[in-house]
Amino acid sequence: QVQLVQSGAEVKKPGASVRVSCKASGYTFTGYYIHWVRQAPGQGLEWMGWISPNTGGTNYAQKFQGRVTMTSDMSISTAYMELSRLRSDDTAVYYCARDPSDTGVYGFDYWGQGTLVTVSS
């Protein structure tokens, strides 16, 4: 069965960086884009960007350009999202999600369990 398993919660100081991992199983990792979405406490969903594990190509939301880097490692079927120069308003749950659009399904069909990143001095 398809699973996306994310790394554990992180606590970071303002100005630091955080890297969240998303390990995929149960499907061909290179066949589907991975998106990253975050959700601040009590707030809605915010799309951050995507990576193609097949090509390494990325597309970031303008809001995060220059601060986010998405990478992947095909050998271990894992995608990563690194966010730098953290601020208190980056405190959120970060999700990875699979995009099956190459199959004709347009949306995010499987999600990781979420990783809470807390930014606090």
Partner 1 sequence: DIQMTQSPSTLSASVGDRVTITCRASQSIGSWLAWYQQKPGKAPKFLIHKASILETGVPSRFSGSGSGTEFTLTISSLQPDDFATYYCQQYNTWTFGQGTKVEIK
Q: How far is the CB of 97 from partner 1 (least distance, A)?
A: 8
What are 121's two structure tokens? 């001095």
- Does position 46 bind partner 1 by CB under 8 A? yes
- Does position 47 bind partner 1 by CB under 8 A? yes
Name which of 6 and 72 has its Cβ closer to partner 1. 6
* Contact in structure between 18 and 10 (CB atoms under 8 Å): yes
The candidate with the shortest Cα–Cα distance to 33, out of 45, 20, 22, 17, is 22
Helical segments of 1-121, H only = none
Q: Which of residues 50-109 bind partner 1 (CB under 8 A)?
A: 50, 62, 95, 97, 101, 105-109
Among residues 24, 29, 35, 51, which is the contact residue for partner 1, using CB under 8 A?
A: 35
CA angle at 91 for the pair 87 and 96, rounded to the nearest 5°: 115
Which residues would be at the binding site for partner 1 (CB under 8 A)? 35, 37, 44-47, 50, 62, 95, 97, 101, 105-114
